[in-house]
């Protein structure tokens, strides 16, 4: 998940993201986004809950979710 934050909030948002069930890693980064978070889930509705909870964190301006496609889908 790619996250844009309010100015000066990237470390706080990265820490808050780690408290959300399903988010395994969160890092403050440079560039177009402020935080990158890695989530693991087994069902798409779980992803929806993770996104909703993350977007409720004070200081999160916008999120963009990218989903890795497992290699088994290629076959």
Say if residues 5 and 60 touch (Cβ distance below 8 Å): yes
At a CB cut-off of 8 Å and minimum separation 6, what does 12 contact?
Answer: 5, 59
Q: What is the pLDDT of residue 75?
A: 64
Mean pLDDT of 9-38: 97
Q: What is the pLDDT of residues 30-70, one digit of tens each?
A: 999 999 999 999 888 999 999 999 999 999 999 999 998 87
Identify the band that residue 74 occupies on the pLDDT scale cut at 50, 70 and 90.
low
Nearest Cα to Cα of residue 40 among 10, 71, 1, 75: 1
The Cα 9–Cα 48 span in angstroms is 23
The Cα 21–Cα 66 span in angstroms is 18
Q: Which CATH number fits domain 2-74: 3.30.70.20, 3.30.70.920, 1.10.3720.10, 3.40.50.970?
A: 3.30.70.920
């Amino acid at each position: 998940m790619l996250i844009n934050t309010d100015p000066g909030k990237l470390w706080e948002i990265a820490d808050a993201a780690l408290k959300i069930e399903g988010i395994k890693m969160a890092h403050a980064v440079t560039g177009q986004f402020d935080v990158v978070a890695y989530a693991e889930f087994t069902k798409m509705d779980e992803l929806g809950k993770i996104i909703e909870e993350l977007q409720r964190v004070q200081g999160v301006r916008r999120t963009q979710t990218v989903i890795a496609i497992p290699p088994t889908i290629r076959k």
